[in-house]
Structure 1
Amino acid sequence: MNLPAPFGLSLGMKLEDFSELKLAEIAPFKYRLDNPPKPHPAFEFYILQISPENGLSWIKAIGQDIPTNGFGTSINSAFLEMEGKLKKTYGNCDRTDLLLQGSIWNEPQDWMMGLVKGERLLASHWEVKTGAKLTEAIESVFLVASARETDCGYIAIEYALKNNSAASEEIASSQDDAL
């Protein structure tokens, strides 16, 4: 099954398929890839989930640092720009833009602090049930805005591939063997 996935990768790629590319293991079954076959300039590096049986099942592209102000102006702009690009590819999405109830970071100039504290969420999600037109290899796409500090953030995209559930079960089972 050689179904194309984002960034020039393919659903189910095994570790040996990455021999030409430099992978660095950062956690069990998670690998950092700096230069995929088709990189995108908005992203600094990529995290891949690769299990022995199911192979590549999940991709997370981590964006370049974006300097911004407390209002999150540059982060919002980068998010909306990437969301527009993803809409051209995958169609309709569900967007969530919220501040958690009870957060003290409720003034416009506190937008980034809300992200830093994990009390604000700006994300878009594509699934077939949202009307998205996904490829044969992709189960869902998730775009999110994140903050490193109140003056610096980034965007990230997570792609769950069609074999992600099976791979997650495989990984959980292998980890549970240690119990």
Structure 2
Amino acid sequence: MKKLISIFTLLFIYSLSVFAGPFGLDMGMTIEDVTKACGGNEPEYISDDRYYIQPVKSHPLFEGYVVWISETEGLYYIKGISREIQANSYGTEVKQEFAKLLSPLERKYGNFEIIDEIVSDDVLPYKLKQDSWMLTIAEGSRICEAHWSVSEDDFEKFGGLTTISVGVKTQATYITSKAYIWIEYGFANAADGFDNLDDVL
């Protein structure tokens, strides 16, 4: 009997580890919960439900983490921001880091939609845009993103996650040699969390 209980306990712990929330964070966490997930370091308030944190379960690529936590909804949104990545005009280096993220995310969350295309020709000639991938990212005429939408069947399995997105940006329009990668996770309570913010306007 004891052996059977031990097996069930191990299976339960294993299931938690497999489907743990991103960066060790789960939907609805309070400030106190997030503080524990950050090794006792209390989140630093920014504004409008946003807090800067450094979770214990961090990813080596990402150096900045922001969470949205409200009094009513708890934690409802997560954003990770990578270190700046030096890149040539074709964005080779940042594209490689971007691609490295897609494989583990696909294994965990399934198929995704990827967008890497020029969406505006307002600022630069098309030929110049084609020759400089980084330039188009910097001036905002190109989108390089990947998106997941969690199905209803997987909703509970992924702890209430509904959307995951990854993308590439630069810090300013004049920066064309360095870029960063952002990743965002939205939970089922995000709509209510953002609605509550809008209500105070």
Q: Which is richer in helix?
A: 2
How many Å separate the matches in 2 of 1:128 and 1:45?
Answer: 25
TM-score, length basis structure 2: 0.78
User: 1:4: how far off?
Assistant: 4.4
1:168 alignment partner, one of 167, 186, 194: 194
Deviation >4 Å, runs of 4+: 131-134
TM-score, length basis structure 1: 0.87
How many Å separate the matches in 2 of 1:140 and 1:132?
Answer: 12
In 1, are the aligned partners of 2:65 and 2:81 still within 8 Å (CA)? yes
How many Å separate the matches in 1 of 2:78 and 2:71?
Answer: 16
Question: Counterpart amino acid of 1:121?
Answer: I
Q: Secondary structure of the residue that 1:17 maps to in structure 2?
A: helix
Identical aligned pairs, as a percentage?
A: 28
1:70 alignment partner, one of 89, 114, 126: 89
2:47 alignment partner, one of 17, 22, 27: 27
Instruction: Give the alignment's Cα RMSD to 1 decimal.
Output: 2.2
- Alignment CA distance shift 1:162-1:138 (3 Å): same
2:181 alignment partner, one of 142, 155, 164: 155
Q: Secondary structure of the residue that 2:58 maps to in structure 1?
A: coil
User: 1:86: how far off?
Assistant: 0.9
Structure 1: unaligned runs, 5 residues or longer: none
Q: Tell me the residue number matched to 2:13.
A: none
Question: Counterpart amino acid of 1:21?
Answer: N
Q: Which is richer in strand?
A: 1
